[in-house]
């Protein structure tokens, strides 16, 4: 065995993923030859690695000891390895080897999820930049419109970013299919909420080349040799290190007419089509602010906005001290003295 980074050594053994291995190292639960290492420490031939006093064996070179399963997660099962959580996915499956899920599905969601003892493949699949597609069937509370499909496909602003373009198609009046290459937290539910829809049911039907077809809710099976060959080929050039749901922040685009200081809440739908979206139309508050600014600068109503301003001619040969003659006004009789008239 050549030298390996400690987190890779632990994940390849099937004990946990690399991210979880890093957490164990930081918590001081890992030792190498009886000493607590630092992050990034390498393990060499003959080194003894333990987690909580339990020896960690090096993985087989051919990975023949790894477990890869497909599980049809029912509604109500939580995707966590914490055995203290009621309804956790590990107890639900009851596998004899130590396994952990690749990604997650929300508790109220159902469908396909992978579990494995190979921590090395987890980050390859989860890394957002690798663009491994996942297919979902979603039921919502309102009829699926063409406008909704277009907006979902183009990308929706959630969680401080804009979702990547994706494939969306109508299945029936209240059901649509969506294929994502991201794994943001509650992504589909947040996207629908932003557009004014509420998810009633959500099922993941496919991950890359593996389908949930043939598995009843609660059933699992080992991935076939063909599926594993295609899976390994798909992730052969994938990056190995990134947290689940990682996404590059989108560039902020300033709206026409200046930058707005007030942000729209994530769950508030935009204007319906044909009501000014994307045309630089200002809202009522912006119009009133511009109106106040215009009146404050000119002291007049906005009636002069359309007329060009008049420019006074200045004679360059005229002395600066010269002042234009003023037209004499009529003086009132009696000057400023108040005159009283007697009656009779």
Q: What amino acid positions are annotated as catalytic residues?
A: 106
Are the C-beta atoms of residues 221 and 228 closer than 8 Å to each other?
no
Q: How many other CB atoms are there within 10 angstroms of residue 121's CB atom? A: 24
Rounded CA gap, 232 and 223, in Å? 12
* E strands in 188-298: 199-207, 210-211, 220-222
Q: How far apart are the first and last CA of the chain?
A: 132
**C-alpha 274: how far from chain center:** 27
Token pair belonging to 303: 């009636």
Dihedral of CA atoms 311, 317, 321, 322 in degrees, nearest 10, equals -70
Beta bridge partners of 51: 30, 54
- Residue 125: name the closest of 241, 287, 269, 264 by CA: 241
Token pair belonging to 29: 């639960």
């Amino acid at each position: 065995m050549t030298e390996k980074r400690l987190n890779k050594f632990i994940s390849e053994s099937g004990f946990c993923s690399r991210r979880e291995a890093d957490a164990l190292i930081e918590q001081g639960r890992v030792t190498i030859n009886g000493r607590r290492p630092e992050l990034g420490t390498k393990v060499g031939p003959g080194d003894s690695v333990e987690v909580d006093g339990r020896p960690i064996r090096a993985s087989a070179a051919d990975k023949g000891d790894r477990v890869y399963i497909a599980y049809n997660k029912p509604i109500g099962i939580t995707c966590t390895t914490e055995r203290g959580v009621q309804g956790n996915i590990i107890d639900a499956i009851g596998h004899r080897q130590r396994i952990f899920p690749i990604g997650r599905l929300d508790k109220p969601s159902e469908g396909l999820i992978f579990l494995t003892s190979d921590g090395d493949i987890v980050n390859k699949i989860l890394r957002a930049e690798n663009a491994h597609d996942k297919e979902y069937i979603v039921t919502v509370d309102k009829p699926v419109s063409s406008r909704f499909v277009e907006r979902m496909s183009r990308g929706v602003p959630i969680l401080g970013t804009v979702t990547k373009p994706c494939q969306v198609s109508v299945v029936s009046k209240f059901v649509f299919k969506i294929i994502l290459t991201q794994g943001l937290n509650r992504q589909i539910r947040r996207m629908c909420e932003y557009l004014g829809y509420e998810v009633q049911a959500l099922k993941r039907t496919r991950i890359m080349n593996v389908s949930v077809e043939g598995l009843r809710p609660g059933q699992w099976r080992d991935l076939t040799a063909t599926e594993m060959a295609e899976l390994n080929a798909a992730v052969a050039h994938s990056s190995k290190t990134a947290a689940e749901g990682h996404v590059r922040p989108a560039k902020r685009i300033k709206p026409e007419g200046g930058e707005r200081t007030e942000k729209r809440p994530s769950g508030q739908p935009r204007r319906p089509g044909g009501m000014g979206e994307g045309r630089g139309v200002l809202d009522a508050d912006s119009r009133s602010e511009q109106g106040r600014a215009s009146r404050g600068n000119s002291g007049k109503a906005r009636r002069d906005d359309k007329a060009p301003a008049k420019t006074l001619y200045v004679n360059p040969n005229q002395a600066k001290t010269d002042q234009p003659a003023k037209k004499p006004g009529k003086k009132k009789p009696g000057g400023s003295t108040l005159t009283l008239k007697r009656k009779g």
